[in-house]
Structure 1
Amino acid sequence: MAACVAVAAEEELTVDAIHTDRLTLRAFREDDAQDLLGYLHQPGASCFLSMKLDDLPAARAAAIKRSSEPDTYALEHHPSGRVIGEVFGHLEPPDTFSIAWMIHPDFAGQGLAHEAAKAIVDHLFQQRDVRRVYAYVETDNLPSQRLCARLGMRQEGLFKEFISFENDAAGKPIYVDTMQFALLKKEWAAA
């Protein structure tokens, strides 16, 4: 399950740990490399193909890079002790935040992505005073569309042939249709 984000300006913030029933959302560490490789060796959504990792050294470098990125959270699963995915995004000044998530396929369908995304959205609205959160999701990514709906996000648009993440056998770009979902702080508070 994954949602894609638009690239935007970053705000210099440290990642504070956020705790849920089954997860700790925290900064990445170098020793998360093996787990990171586990879900990025074959990314589940085409928008994450550029993040594909081929081996442990690449995963180690990616974990180190993520450890210094603001608003990038490793999802540490309490029962297994593993990092099973991540939630990340970017602040678009002054008060809009793009959000994305991905989770290891072995842990999909257990409500963990919802648990993590809900905790981050609540953190953004309550602690960071963000006014609006949005996510881009490809039309073929039904689990992320359902997650957006569970969060109370509404579909704001459909971008036909919005972007290409890969090429076909002839080298021509494969364009995907992308939906935009969004949620306002006042909608979150009213739910």
Structure 2
Amino acid sequence: MQKIETHRLILRNFSEADSQGLLEYLGNPRVSCFLDERTSTLEEAALKVQKRSKDDSYVAVCLKDSDYLIGELFYLKEEPDTYSIGWNFNAQFEGLGYANESVKAFLKYLFMQLGARRLYSYVEDDNYRSQKLCDRLGMRKEGYFIEFISFTKYEDGTPKYENTFQYALLKKEWLKKQSS
């Protein structure tokens, strides 16, 4: 992926120097969908960084002044032109507008560089920050799935199913918003 610079951030491929930053937000995932990504050691983080560095569908979000990793954006392409998108950020950098700033640039990249026609994102019903972010980005709430997916289990071993919203945005909707 080509490096993208915003006012305060750099979006780029992962590099070896990102292991500590990745460990900080994957060491204790706050959202259930990232529980299977939990990372306990710097060595585990380095292996994940190495894998992500070879995969353009993972985008490192770094502070412009220090190039320090504070989160990631990612996509999964569904042929021919639909992309499922998501993000995960270090809690220490919440509330500063970094997610909004980086995802706006990510949407532009997906629509204008990769030719996306439609983007969508799944957000658990208790993940209020991501819901607000989707709203700010102009994504529309398309659905609400009851007991949609399980990422964890109750103490008795039975699966705990998550209620999940689906948000989406079409390129033509995004373009209209850009021109207004």
**TM-score band, normalised by the shorter chain?**
over 0.9
In structure 2, the residue corresponding to 1:178 is in which secondary structure? strand
Counterpart residue type for residue 148 of structure 2: F
1:142 aligned to which of 121, 128, 135: 128
Q: Which residue in the other structure is 1:18 paired with?
A: 4
Q: Shift of the alpha carbon at 1:72?
A: 0.9
Q: Shift of the alpha carbon at 1:16?
A: 1.4
Residue 154 (str. 1) matches residue 153 (str. 2)? no
> 1:16-165 maps to which residues of 2 (within 5 A)?
16-165=2-151
In structure 2, the residue corresponding to 1:130 is in which secondary structure? coil
Counterpart residue type for residue 91 of structure 1: K
Residues 23-71 of structure 1, C-alpha deviation per residue, up to 9 Å, x if partnerless?
1000001221111001100012100000010111100000001101122
Q: Shift of the alpha carbon at 1:100?
A: 0.3
Counterpart residue type for residue 47 of structure 2: A
Q: Which residue in the other structure is 1:12 paired with?
A: none
Counterpart Cα distance in 2 of 1:44 and 1:102: 9
Counterpart Cα distance in 2 of 1:34 and 1:128: 30
Q: Which residue in the other structure is 1:167 paired with?
A: 153
Q: Which residue in the other structure is 2:166 paired with?
A: 180
Number of aligned positions between the proteins: 177
In structure 2, the residue corresponding to 1:161 is in which secondary structure? strand
Counterpart Cα distance in 2 of 1:118 and 1:168: 36
- Larger RCO (alpha carbons 8 Å, 6+ apart): 1
In structure 2, the residue corresponding to 1:54 is in which secondary structure? coil
Q: Shift of the alpha carbon at 1:123?
A: 1.1
Counterpart Cα distance in 2 of 1:71 and 1:22: 22
Runs ≥4 residues deviating over 2 A? none
Farther-moved stretch of structure 1 (77-86 vs 114-123): 77-86
Q: Identify the structure with the greater helix proportion.
A: 2
Q: What is the CA RMSD across the aligned residues, in angstroms?
A: 0.8
Q: Please, which runs of 5 or more residues in structure 2 have no aligned partner?
A: none
Farther-moved stretch of structure 1 (122-131 vs 41-50): 122-131
Q: Please, which runs of 5 or more residues in structure 1 have no aligned partner?
A: 1-14
Q: Percent identity?
A: 47
Q: Shift of the alpha carbon at 1:79?
A: 3.4
Counterpart Cα distance in 2 of 1:95 and 1:85: 25
Residues 115-134 of structure 1, C-alpha deviation per residue, up to 9 Å, x if partnerless?
11110101111122210000
